[in-house]
Each structure stands twice: as C-alpha cells, then as structure tokens.
Structure 1
Amino acid sequence: MSATRTLQVKARPGARNSSLEQQPDGSWRAELKAPPVDGKANAELVALVAKHFGLRKSQVKIRSGAGGRMKLVELAE
C-alpha cells in the first residue's frame, strides 16, 4: 500500500521564475511562470512538485483548489 502526503500550496502564477519553497508555517509557496489559463499553471505546479520531491508527475495530483491560489496537492509515494 502506498503512502500519500498532502501539501498546502499557495500558487502565484505569472512569476518571473519558477520555484517551490516551504514557508515557516509548514505550507508551501509556488512561483509559477505559466499564466493561469487553460490549466497551464496547474500543469506547471504538478511538474514542479514532482521534480522537487523526486516523483513522477502521475504521482502528484491537485486534490482541491484547482481554480484558486490555495491548493491541496496530494503526493503518492
């Protein structure tokens, strides 16, 4: 049985550079180059989280908040 982990992520689309960093309160902040159009920012977020944690993109899923800035991202490890 695989373990899952959930991250609370605040996304900021349209940033100059892409980055993912943990905040002092335990949540994460994602700076995304992609605009929030046609799911491009969400796709970039999934790729960024997967790369950061050494997972495949298929192991990362946006569980809630796909249409907003605050998202719950689930990692299947």
Structure 2
Amino acid sequence: MAYANDVGGMHGFGELAPEGPTFESVWEAEIYVLNQACVAAGVYTLDEFRHTMEQFPPSEYYGMPYFERWLNAVERLLP
C-alpha cells in the first residue's frame, strides 16, 4: 500500500532531489567523513563538535565558509 509520502518512483511527481550534503570540492567531503569517523570512534561527541564551532569569535565564524568551520573545529578537537 502506498502512502501520501511514498512517492518515490511514481509518475507525475517530478524528480526526487538526492538526500544528504553536497560538496563543492573533495576536501569538504573528506572533512565531513573524518568528522563522522571521529564521532563514531568516540574521539569526541557531536555536541563537543558543535560547541567548538560555537566558540569561534563571530568575525571568525562568519568569515569562514561552512566546511572551513568544520575543518577548524576538527583541528581543535583532535589530540
């Protein structure tokens, strides 16, 4: 039985957008995967990762592209 939200593969609903992040360059994908691996391995928690980014001074935070923030946070969290 198909439900209202189950339109995948049905005709007339247009193309489905891919889920997940999109990357402009390879290093962005690599930092994304590195962060996931560190969280999964217990190196740090996702909350610690977010908190680290929240500690950036506003001028630094807003002066960096999205994944550069990730890179800086991971660099600060890794021993």
- Counting strand residues as a fraction of each chain, which structure ranks higher? 1
TM-score (norm. length: structure 1)? 0.30
Q: Which has the higher contact order (CA 8 A, sep 6+)?
A: 1
Structure of greater Rg = 2
- Counting helix residues as a fraction of each chain, which structure ranks higher? 2
TM-score (norm. length: structure 2)? 0.29
